[in-house]
Chain A
Amino acid sequence: MQIEFDRTKCVGHNRCYLLAPELFDVDDEGYAVVRIDGPVPASLEAKAQLAADNCPEYAITVVD
């Protein structure tokens, strides 16, 4: 599983950071930053899906 994050859609709802802090950080202005390079560890796949499913701006997608 890979995370695809579209920074141009992010407006800083911070839902991903709350639900999956292992995968998402926030910058000083509160915009999301993906913390990992490459595939999502198997143990965090459910959290990646949760982050994608709760982004009001559809800025996060997960692809297999």
Chain B
Amino acid sequence: MAHQNHQYSPGTARATIGLGIFLVSLLILIALFAAEVLAGFGELDQKMQTAITGLPGISSVLGLAMNLFHCHALTAIKVVFYVGAIIGLAVAARAGRETRGVASWLNLPVCRAILALVLVFLLGVVFSAEGAFGIVGTHRDALRQASVFGLLACGMTLVIIGGGIDLGVGSVLALVSVTFSLMSIHWGWQPWVSVPACLLLGAMCGGLAGTITAGFRIQPFVATLAMMVFARGLAKTVSGGTKISTAVKNPDGTFRYVDVPAVFRFIDSRILDGNLSVVTVIFIVCAVLTWILLARHRWGTHLYAIGGNEEAARLSGVPVTSTKILSYVASGLLAGVAGLCQAAQEQQGDPETGAGYELTAIAIVVIGGTTLTGGRGGIGLTLLGTLTIGYLEKILSINAVPEASRLMLTGVIIVAAVLAQRRKR
């Protein structure tokens, strides 16, 4: 105990070895994947099979695994390296907790969020669904599907950093989606009227919830729970309880079909030769704007201060009530943007849509590493969280994992991610 040797730290050595294993596995996986994309999955799999048969020891082990899990030789090999990568990372992260050297950056929230994303992404590389993960369309769709959740998560991040929570976003999304459909399809309003009107509606919902919680000091959980129920009811009232689709009911009870409004088609379209969805662009733009407000505007700083210590913030002259209300307004506004996207993608306004989305948004924020207690986090983390959840969903779906298992797996991943994010003293 008295002999402390400061020259040599076993932690640093272990961290270096762990990181080395991780990086080597990572490179091999990427190389295998690149070869697979270039040569085609079937081709490479054949070669691997032949190669394995040449090595009697390995072939029996891998062969057993292949038969057990009905997987290809190539996939089995990739699984081996994936497990290697995880073990390497775990070793490095564990060592990183004890040392200040090489691996201490592994404990930064950003790094952990990136690593979670990398691990999920590698999952796609390993289980590429016979090469489907190598196609641009897969990624485009993963990003498109994640975008609506990402929009909600950006607003949620603001509210959570300020020490609150917004359970109303899923319902507000439905309300805006219904209203937008009604305006665009039934009433034939031009987008330069309907879009601002819908965004205003979303912002007002947020403002109402914010005023109730911050102005009247009701717990945000309760106030936004009320908004969640209220906005859902309002969406059903506005829509008359039915889906607002292009099948418009005539006064005599028959249906006539109208064209999908141009604004719907635009939002649902793709740019860059069909390689990027407009919805994704909208998400990225909103995320950047939110980031600018949070990181470069006084309001964002005030939000962090309130989430970190509300009383200290108030006694430092921070306008607590208005700052908090504005965070809910922003959340409602972003839920409104998400509602527009949802309506355009579904080509209808469904008053039942978006149920449970608020929980996915919270999961994204938490997986990114923003703490639920407020005061710590950021949009960058939420962006990473969005990609993690989005890719996880996509990878499970291209591998035809049934929804039941998908939900259970997502639950497990959320816990694992939050465990990995836990702050250590």
* Genuine A/B complex: no
Chain B positions near chain A (C-beta within 8 angstroms): none
Chain A positions near chain B (C-beta within 8 angstroms): none
